[in-house]
Structures are given as structure tokens and as C-alpha cells.
Structure 1
Amino acid sequence: MLGYFGPAGTFTHQALRRITTEEALPFATVPRALDAVRDGEVTAALVPIENSVEGGVTATLDNLASGRPLVIAQEVIMPVSFVLAVRPGTALGDVRRVLTHPHAHAQTRAWVANHLPGALVTEGGSTASAAQEVADPESRHDAAICAAVAAELYGLEEAASDIADNPDAVTRFVLVRLPGETPAPTGADKTTLVAYMHADRSGALLEILEQFAMRGVNLTRIESRPTKKAYGEYCFSIDAEGHVGEPRMRGTLKGLHRVCREVTFLGSYPRADGVRPKIARGFTAADYDAAEHWMDDLLGRPHRA
């Protein structure tokens, strides 16, 4: 059975429905969903990891970086559309208190300021739990900013729809499982990892980035996160184009292992958008093979397969 960051009606739940119709188990928090995988309660769990407006989801990034080993097996990218959900009979002008998730608030802040200038917005655990709370007739909140599916699930009406400040906003979700055999490269893959510096010094980050640049590996995301072990100590959460099964990515990971205090490999998996990287001359698998054959000739030994 799969798990997901719940409750039912969250955007994560909607994203999960894109990859399976099987029943799945909701968990109240991202750490709880990931620990369920570690403890064998579920075979894998879907959690949000990145939003095009707000950036990385820190609960996911930090838990993957510091918890017991897990790897990403798949990603899902989904457009995010919010509604203002109210109890039946509540008019837009009656809304004084709004409940939602912090990321949802950040993505609808301008709309709220323009249409509900006097409303107090409270941030809670999830958009679905906000809808569930507002559905209670005794709730002190008049409205929830949530997904349309959550409004429908809890019997609420849409006082307004498509209220996101950025209509092109998307959220990226990842299906996480226990480490195992890495699937073969597809040609359109990502690798996710966390790199830890030996010490905070001039050029330490450059040394990490050089491992990617010198092998023609493009980064799609890099974020610094506190290690939570000492003040001012940071690690780097990175997504890069390519697969550990490809020579250029293997070389990159080996280089990082040499220059970093620690490298946490979080998986190589197919890109949801199917985009293939543009690999510069000198960095293709054929280029690496040719270089190996040339070196074999120099050393007078047979070519390796």
C-alpha cells in the first residue's frame, strides 16, 4: 500500500491519483509519511518537495537529508489551483476569518488583500484540514483556501475560484521508497542528492559546483539548508539533470565524494516532464567510452566492455 501527506483532499492526494487509483493511506505530516516508509507501514509515500512560487518544501528536504535513508522513485508535477471554500449560505462579504496552509496563503496573498482586505488569515497544517475545519458549523473560521476537491469532499461551496496570484504555479511531488536497485536510465532523468561541506570556508561551494560543471551536468535546483547540528552550518540540496547510470553523473558523484564531508544520494528517477538534457560535446556516454578505450590503448590492455 502507498501512503501520502494527507488528509484526503490535499493537493498531494490529487497528485497521487495521477499515478494510481489504488487505495492509499494518508498521514498527518510529511515526516510521519516518510517514517511510515522507513518502518514498513507502506511501500512508498508521495510528498510535496518543491513549489514554483515558494521553492523547496522544507519539511520534505530536511527529513530526506537527515533521516534514515530513503530514495526518490518518481516525481509528479501538477498545476495548483485554489478556491475560497465556505459553508453553504456564506457570502464573500461575510468572510472575516480564513484558514489555509502557509504555502497556499503565500500563493494567494494578493488576491486576499484585494478581495478580503479586512480578513484575518490563519495558517494551519494542510489545505484539506482547513476545509474540514471550516465545514464544522461551530468553527470560528468562515472560509478555507483549498483545492476544489477538498471543498467538495467536505460539503463546502466555492465563494471564489482560481484565486492564485500566479495562474501558472505548479507543485512538484516525489514518491519516496526504501533504497534498492536503481532503475535504468531513460534519457530524461534527474538525480537528487545532499552535499555537506567539510567546513565553511571561501570556495567550498564553488568546489562542489565545479564537480557538476566540469562534467557538463546542469542543475535544476540547489538550496542551502541548515544541518541543525551547529549554528551557521549548512548543506546543499541539489537536483541535477542525468542518471547515476550515466558516466558523467557517476563521475560527478565520485568527485563530490572526494571533496565533501558527506554526500547523501536520494535517487535517480525519470523526469515528470520528459525533457532530455542537452549534453555538450565531450560529455556523452560515447565520449566517455572513447576516452576509456584511448586510455586502454595507451596502457596496452584490452578494451573494457
Structure 2
Amino acid sequence: MSAPRYAYLGPAGTFTEAALRQVATPQEATYLPQVDVVSAIEAVRTGEADYAVVAIENSVEGGVTAVLDTLATGDPLVLLREMLVPVTFVLAARAGTRLADIRRISAHPHAWAQCRRWLRTNLPGVVHVPATSNTAPAALLAGSTQDLGFDAALVPPPALEHYGLEPIAHHVADNEHAVTRFVLVGHPGRVPEPTGADKTTLVVHLPSNQAGALLEMLEQFSARGVNLSRIESRPIGDSLGRYSFSIDAEGHVQDERMAEALMGLHRVCPHVRFLGSYPRVDAPHGAVRPGTFDADFVAARAWVAALREGRGH
């Protein structure tokens, strides 16, 4: 059998590649670098790749909107697992470049946002040249001696050796504890068994555009004791004022409380897209509320069944 194919944001040396290496090594899989996260996801839809690894959330910048929006529409895909990667940056350039020489820096928008305070202090007035990934400008600097429109780049530390660049400044990120959550994306299939520490990701449209609509949607989780670890609004795109919600909920679709919440959403919301239940990499933040354990739901259904048969009271 051929090795599984993984699409990811390239070129080599990105944080995404570091996340992919947590899933499969280059000896176990075929790596397919892509120019952006949308291309990585679409490679799975078109059959060019079997899986994609993409960033979905950063502890500093929040959700990766391109990933959230791409998963919310189109042919259904699901999240199979998640990975965490610490995020740090160095300012790199060709040999001989000095800090005083730098007027333009190429960086992925998320990298720029995570270093803006250092840049404002040490390089006031420097111009941001957007890049498609965290290593794309490093590859350009290494592959050409021409003027590329920028003097230096914000890159992951491993990119220095990989692309033969010189460090101008280390530890340029404003938050040394930043972390990015990545997900493994694949085609729908049988949902893996619950582990006891799981996460379910959904896309939900509000039941109406009236006062209380958001509360009605959130009550489907609250009433069943399902804690939300992330909720973000995203424009649906067909008109102003219409939003969907990207949600991470603690629990597995096989958990009684989660199944009941999903049924509630299906009853009151016009659109619910299930994006998978998968093991979470950190421990659950919220404890299961009394009365919402699986046994509680099973006992409640048995009681109602007995009432219908005239055996209960």
C-alpha cells in the first residue's frame, strides 16, 4: 500500500510541519506542502491528499478564520485529532545584514501580530510585507540574491539552519508562551470511540435573527451540562448581520449529554454541521455537572418509558 498523503502549509520548516510530524514522520507518509491553508483543505476534498494538517486556533490571535470558513462550507470534512505546537520567532536575514539595515520585514500576518510590540520598540516604522507562511520568506531569501522587496523575515528558529540564514534577533515574540492548535482533517467515517477527554467541533447557524436567538442556541448546551471551550462568530456571507458560530464543546458525540445537545440544536437551528469528535490534547477544563452523566440520561429515559407503559409514577 502507498504511504498516506498529508497536505500542509509549506514550505519545509513551518510550525504546521512540526504539527504534522506529531502525526506521521516523513518516512511514514508523503508530505505535500501547499501555498495556503485553504489549498491544504481543498487537496483533501479533491483527492490530491488523504489528510490535511492546518492551524485552527492560536493562543494570542484566536481562531484561524480561513480554516474555520473553509471547513464550514463545501463537501463535509471532519477533524480527527488535534496537536499543540509552541510558537516562537526569530528575526532572520542574509549574512551581513544588520538590524539598522532593516526597513521591510516579510512575515505571515499571525507572526507579525505576535511580534508587533517588539517590532514597535526595536524597529519603529518598519514595513510589513505579508507572506503566505512562516517559512515562505526564508525560502525566498535563501533562493535568491536579488532584491525581494524585504530585508528580513520573522521565521521559526529551525528555519535558520534549514535555509542558511543569519539570526538578527532571537526571542522577538511578545508572548513567549504562545501556542497554536493544529487539527488533522480527513473524510467523514465512523467516529472514534470516546476517550473520556474529548472535544466536539460544530458549525451552527442561529435559529432566527431576533432577540434571544443566541441564548436559545446556547441553552441547548447549558441545559445538558456541556461546556464550551471555544465559540466564535463568523459571517455567513450572503448578507450583513447574518452570522454562524464555530464551536468547540467538551465531550464526545457518544456521550449522552452531547448527543442530547446535538438533538436540541437540530430541532431549533436551521443548520448544524458536525465537524467531528476527537481526543483533546489537554485535560478538560470543566467537570461534568451532577445530573448530566450518561447514567443520569439513561435513567431518565427509562423512567419516561415506564411512565408510558403505566409502570412508573
Residue 9 of structure 2 corresponds to residue 5 of structure 1: yes
Q: Can you give the 5+ residue segments of structure 2 that lack an aligned partner in the other structure?
A: none
The answer for the alignment partner of 1:45 in structure 2 is 52
Q: Following the alignment from structure 2 to structure 1, what is the Cα–Cα distance between the partners of residues 161 and 209? A: 50
Q: Which runs of 4+ in 1 moved over 6 A?
A: none
Q: Following the alignment from structure 1 to structure 2, what is the Cα–Cα distance between the partners of residues 15 and 33? A: 14
The answer for the alignment partner of 2:267 in structure 1 is 258
Give the drift of 1:125: 1.1
The answer for the alignment partner of 1:137 in structure 2 is 145
Q: Which of 246, 249, 257 is equivalent to 2:255? A: 246
Q: How does 1:199-238 map to 2 (within 5 A)?
A: 199-238=208-247
301 and 15 in structure 1: CA distance in 2 versus 1, 3 angstrom threshold: farther
TM-score normalised by L of structure 1:
0.95
Deviates more, 1:241-250 or 1:146-155: 146-155
Q: Following the alignment from structure 2 to structure 1, what is the Cα–Cα distance between the partners of residues 119 and 53? A: 29
The letter for the 2-side match of 1:137 is T
Q: Following the alignment from structure 2 to structure 1, what is the Cα–Cα distance between the partners of residues 89 and 203? A: 32
Residue 197 of structure 2 corresponds to residue 193 of structure 1: no
The answer for the alignment partner of 1:112 in structure 2 is 119
The answer for the alignment partner of 2:184 in structure 1 is 175
Q: Following the alignment from structure 1 to structure 2, what is the Cα–Cα distance between the partners of residues 15 and 290? A: 42
The answer for the alignment partner of 1:270 in structure 2 is 279
Give the drift of 1:300: 3.5
Q: Following the alignment from structure 2 to structure 1, what is the Cα–Cα distance between the partners of residues 194 and 286? A: 13
The answer for the alignment partner of 1:74 in structure 2 is 81
Give the drift of 1:298: 2.5
The answer for the alignment partner of 1:161 in structure 2 is 170
TM-score normalised by L of structure 2:
0.93
Identity among equivalent positions (%) equals 53
Q: Following the alignment from structure 2 to structure 1, what is the Cα–Cα distance between the partners of residues 234 and 58? A: 16
Give the drift of 1:150: 2.2
Any conservation in 2 of the 1:242–1:277 contact (CA below 8 Å)? no
SS at match of 1:174: strand
The answer for the alignment partner of 2:109 in structure 1 is 102
The answer for the alignment partner of 1:150 in structure 2 is 159
Give the drift of 1:67: 1.8
Cα shift readout 1:259-298 (whole Å, capped 9, x = no counterpart)? 1111011000000114374101000011112212222332
Residue 130 of structure 2 corresponds to residue 126 of structure 1: no
Q: Can you give the 5+ residue segments of structure 1 that lack an aligned partner in the other structure?
A: none
Computed over aligned residues only, the root mean square deviation of the Cα atoms, in angstroms, reads 1.5
Q: Which of 12, 19, 28 is equivalent to 1:15? A: 19
